[in-house]
Structure 1
Amino acid sequence: MDIEEFVKTNYRNKKNKDEIIEKLASIIQYYKNIPQEQSELLSKTVYDEVLTTENLNQENLDNLLQFPKTNIGMGEFGVGSRGQGDFYVHSKIAEIIKNTPIESIVNPTAQDDGGVVKVDDTYYVTTAIDGIHSRLSDYPFLAGFHTARATLRDVCVMGANPVALISDIHLADDGDIGKLLDYTAGICAVSELTKVPLVSGSTLRVGGDMVLGDRLVGAVGAVGSSNTTPKARSEAKEDDIIIMTEGSGGGTITTTAIYNNYPDVIKETLNVQFVKASQLLNNYEKQENIHAMTDITNGGINGDANEINKTTGLGIHLYLENIRKLINSNVYNMLDELDIDPLGVSVDSLMLIVSKESVEDIINLLENNSIKADIIGHMTDTGKTYIEDENGNTIQLTPKFREAAYTPIKKVIESINESNFDEDKKIIDKATQEAIDKKDNLVKWIKNRYE
């Protein structure tokens, strides 16, 4: 419960001061076991702070304390839901980064999950960061485990060997400290299994004193190094073969299992096979034949294929039956029973785009190390993704506005949230340019003042 936002909204809607303070005091008492006079004092203090900020003199600050308003909500536009809306906003974030003239080898403009900088002629540093799944707040060990594994994946698929993990955790004011410890233990389980140390981090409260409840949010980052060219999506070539490893899911599948009452599926997700596979491939002697690697996470293979189309300009032809066979059978059965599209959710498989001459060698390398893998398609010149079923029927695979709805609440939201996508895009475009202009003006002001 964000009590600062509660007061701001009611104040801006011109609600009566005494009514706001009284209602907020009752909310505070709901969360806190404190006397009424203390809850009333806290409520009045929050109101006074909001009043100060709402009437702050910003005459000489230009728009420094303002942000470009779109009046489009995160959920309304599908941000974080791994579909068209999410991909579009990420492209706008990438646009701001592209406008920043600082050199890197791979950054978010390529829509890869990991970024790469070159240190010298032969040395590359790769970084990645992943946030915890929002619905795993009450299951901190699993949140830490799957987030750590996800960020290691993002480093590995760029062709780097991970060398360190970092952690960031924010727990709301009423959260039990045991959550912090459990979350860290989850990260350290992955650390121990992969031999990548957790070396630093940050621990804070969500919203400080202004957010009540026990919601847990956070992220895990990873750093890796390599002396080979990054395996970015942009390196895929026409006629390359696409290989996929078996996927058992991660945070998304765990969430699906918990909130749809499939507890036995949770244990299927607890492994580090993906990292093991990536490390094998990073030591493969014919590195030049592995052109690109990615993890099937962002909206499933549907979302990832679309991003590869946009990044490379190339097309993809997939074989549905081969993909199905490479999804863990217990996970696939759950998705099938719940009518969740397995092509639209994160299954945490590794997808390799390789030259034809190395296909057999790579599959044998993986299979000999107990990692199931097979060909699932090839690169084409169409610029689009097509998928062929077991009967030879082919359809175009197009990205959805959101990933497949995998919890009961997502199914409801999918049915009630509507968006005028094209009009919203124009508004977001304008806000992006405003953010770029703000950045440019501030940089210019600082340089003029201090240089």
Structure 2
Amino acid sequence: MLPPGKIPPEKLKKFVFNHLGARGERVIISSGPGVDAAAIDFGSSVLVASTDPITGAGEGIGFYAVHVNANDVATFGARPKWFLVSLLLPEGADEGLLEEIMREIHGSAERLGVAIVGGHTEVTPGLKKPIVVGTMLGEVEKGKLVTSNGAKAGDSIILTKWAGLEGTSIIASERGEELEKAFGWAFVERAASFIGMISVVEDALTANEIGVHAMHDPTEGGVANGLHEMADAAGLGFRVYGERIPIREETIKICEFYNLNPLALISSGALLMATPQEKAGEVVKALEKKGINASVIGEFVKEPGVRVIVENGEERPLERPESDELWKVV
């Protein structure tokens, strides 16, 4: 039986990646381990396309759908421009729910300068919550295209913002009453407000102007899974340092309350990037100049089997999460 969340990489290789239809002549990058978007040659520019569902959120599901998909496109150095959305509503849903989700999608897309160009809506038997499946299209100059599999041994690993942002926001929204009793109303409000930091479009485009080898937004499975996915895609290993990984106090307390691992908690809003060591400081300064928190948390290494975290001076394997920690509480 498959666990909730993303299908494990070994299952993807066996059942998915060998069933991808005809090979397109203009496809520069297509689906693969750790690759969240496709890139298609359009002459002087490249079309970047990505698709993702939003399944674990209740409130703000339309907001998440736009930004999560925009993030995947931005990690290729492309500016998101066009969005298609399939909206599946549970039986018994009313028109108010439909309008609320579409208002969220419209407002989020408008703020990013993205046009909604197509999609599908229906009431789907058997659903307990709405599901929104988005497809984002973006465009980048051919010379500015960045790939998620481009990391090189010796590259510094930079993480923007904080680990577990999206998961913290979702849990605070879904389990607010319970958390309010434990930590108070103001705490829950702060944690829920992390949804406002979910976009990494500015992070990615800012870093790409200076120079990066690869970028990847850590969604399901959090920072831990994101590191494994980047390493998988590039055939590398990594070494990261626990004390350098930024985590908000609200995330730490919520994870302690529910016995969750913050490094395996869905982390949209953070951005992982592989940067040449000599440019890492410049990238961090450029991001901080725009008010974006950024930290060098480790480096990629040439040995694929070395995937470790250093804590309290001791090195141990950083395990790949079997599923996201979010599923334990929502």
Q: Shorter-chain TM-score: what band?
A: 0.7 to 0.9
Please say if residues 175 and 213 of structure 1, whose CA atoms lie closer than 8 Å, have aligned partners that are also in contact. Answer: no
What is the aligned counterpart of 2:282 among 361, 365, 370? 361
Distance 2:197 2:108 in 1: 9
Change (3 A) 1:95 1:161: same
Q: Which has the higher helix share?
A: 1
Distance 1:395 1:110 in 2: 24
Give 3-state SS (helix, strand or coil) of 1:118's partner.
strand
Give 3-state SS (helix, strand or coil) of 1:109's partner.
coil
Quote how far apart the aligned CAs of 1:407 are: 3.4
Identity of aligned residues (%): 20
Q: Which has the higher strand share?
A: 2
Change (3 A) 1:130 1:212: closer
Higher relative contact order, chain-length normalized (CA < 8 Å, sep 6+): 2
Change (3 A) 1:364 1:177: same
1:337 matched residue in structure 2:
257
Aligned length: 314
Quote how far apart the aligned CAs of 1:135 are: 4.6
Q: Is the aligned partner of 1:328 residue 2:248?
A: yes
What is the aligned counterpart of 1:176 among 89, 94, 98? 94
Say which is worse superposed, 107-116 or 396-405, in terms of deviation: 396-405
Please say if residues 133 and 251 of structure 1, whose CA atoms lie closer than 8 Å, have aligned partners that are also in contact. Answer: no
Quote how far apart the aligned CAs of 1:123 are: 1.2
1:40 matched residue in structure 2:
none
TM-score (norm 2): 0.87
1:196 matched residue in structure 2:
114
After TM superposition, list the pairs within 5 Å mapping 1:58-207 onto structure 2: 76-78=1-3, 80-82=4-6, 85-91=7-13, 92-97=15-20, 100-103=22-25, 104-120=27-43, 122-136=44-58, 139=59, 142-206=60-124
What is the aligned counterpart of 2:316 among 383, 395, 400? 395
RMSD over aligned CA atoms reads 2.2
Distance 1:253 1:105 in 2: 36
Quote how far apart the aligned CAs of 1:250 are: 5.7
2:149 matched residue in structure 1:
234
Change (3 A) 1:197 1:129: same
2:200 matched residue in structure 1:
274
Quote how far apart the aligned CAs of 1:251 are: 4.9
1:433 matched residue in structure 2:
none
Which runs of no fewer than 5 residues in structure 1 stay unpaired? 1-75, 410-451
Partner amino acid, structure 2, of 1:344: A
Distance 1:229 1:396 in 2: 34
Quote how far apart the aligned CAs of 1:253 are: 3.0
The Cα offsets for residues 247-298 of structure 1, whole Å up to 9 and x where unpaired, read as 375653333223433442211222355222123234x1x4xx3100001113
Quote how far apart the aligned CAs of 1:321 are: 1.0
TM-score (norm 1): 0.65
The Cα offsets for residues 75-94 of structure 1, whole Å up to 9 and x where unpaired, read as x311x524xx5333333312
Q: Is the aligned partner of 1:350 residue 2:271?
A: yes
The Cα offsets for residues 376-408 of structure 1, whole Å up to 9 and x where unpaired, read as 01011221311111x211101121322335534
Distance 2:104 2:98 in 1: 10
Quote how far apart the aligned CAs of 1:105 are: 1.4
What is the aligned counterpart of 1:224 among 127, 133, 138? 138
Instruction: Compare CA radii of gyration and give the structure with the larger one.
Output: 1
Please say if residues 164 and 263 of structure 2, whose CA atoms lie closer than 8 Å, have aligned partners that are also in contact. Answer: no
